[in-house]
Chains A and B, each alone.
Chain A
Amino acid sequence: MVQCVKLDFEEAEISAKMKALLTIASKVQIGGKNVTSEDVDRAKDLGATDLEIHDTVLIAAMFCMCNRYVDGLATWAPDDPDFYRQRAAIVAVNGYAASTLTSVETSLDTARTSARATTVSRS
């Protein structure tokens, strides 16, 4: 479902309210002034509260920061999807404060072990 939302959220099986909020988020990603009063009215008509609209704008804005931070420093991005799944499982349960050095090191060890296993099996 997450993949569907990433590719074409208007066609994904999510609520109409969520689609309206994703429209706002996609406008924020381009630039704050792209959000129109029509976009906001649509979200409100579909049940979005002021808090939900506020948080959607701020989440979108925040990830425009985080994405630039990660890529602007050319940080290492592991290829192995399992790295991300394992890290996400930790964060979903323990929150973002769990992205500590310890959990990152554990994820790194897992990713390296997995990469080595892939190399060995290919040789």
Chain B
Amino acid sequence: MTHIQLPEGLPGITSALAFRPETAKPLLALAEELLRGPNFLTSGEREMIATFVSARNDCYFCQTSHRAAAAHHLGGNYELVDAVRADYQNAPVSPKLKALLTIAGKVQQSGKSVTTDDIAEARIEGATDREIHDTVLIAAAFCMYNRYVDGLATFTPTDPTQYDEMGARMATQGYGRGQ
């Protein structure tokens, strides 16, 4: 049961966003810019960072919906997203993305956990300041979204088809439409 009276029939964060449209607007704008805005990191890569952090925060709704979004950006490749989520160091992704995921994993623990060695490693693998910045902010933002979703005990669907549809919408239409 949700902790407060939220609009019914809406899954996860969407119910909280509908409850409070004034804060929904900047929250969605942030997600849109971070995950779908112009960037040398692909949306697939950025959604994988979001999924990874959400899994570490044990937020079922966020990790499952963003897993679907990542997969849709990657031509339906759920296997790759799952490989990254389970064991990114051995997943078939670039060394640069692995270095950025290390940073994201540290941010999930605490900002101060990020070391100069972590940053140096990312730079050696070709990460730019902008990519490092955005990785830190995506990880930090999902530490917010995960807590928002679970802190209000929003309704968590369990039907995989529903998440696949959500992911398709997130990948093609984005976050600016109050999803």
Contact = CB atoms under 8 A, between A and B. Distances in A.
A33 interface: yes
B3 interface: yes
A19 to B, nearest CB: 18
Interface residues of B, number: 37
8 contacts: A32-B59, A32-B146, A35-B152, A54-B19, A64-B140, A64-B144, A73-B133, A73-B136
A53 interface: yes
Contact of B147 (A50, A60, A69, A74): A60
Interface in A20-79: 24, 27-29, 31-33, 35, 37, 40, 50-51, 53-55, 57-58, 60-62, 64-74
A28 B106 CA distance: 19
Contacts, number: 105
Interface residues of A, number: 31
B140 A69 contact: yes
Interface of A: 24, 27-29, 31-33, 35, 37, 40, 50-51, 53-55, 57-58, 60-62, 64-74
Nearest to B149: A32
B151 A32 contact: yes
Contacts of A66: 140
A65 B110 CA distance: 10
A114 B57 CA distance: 42
Given A32-B147, A60-B147, A69 B137 contact: yes
Contacts of A28: 147, 151
B23 interface: yes
A66 B147 CA distance: 13
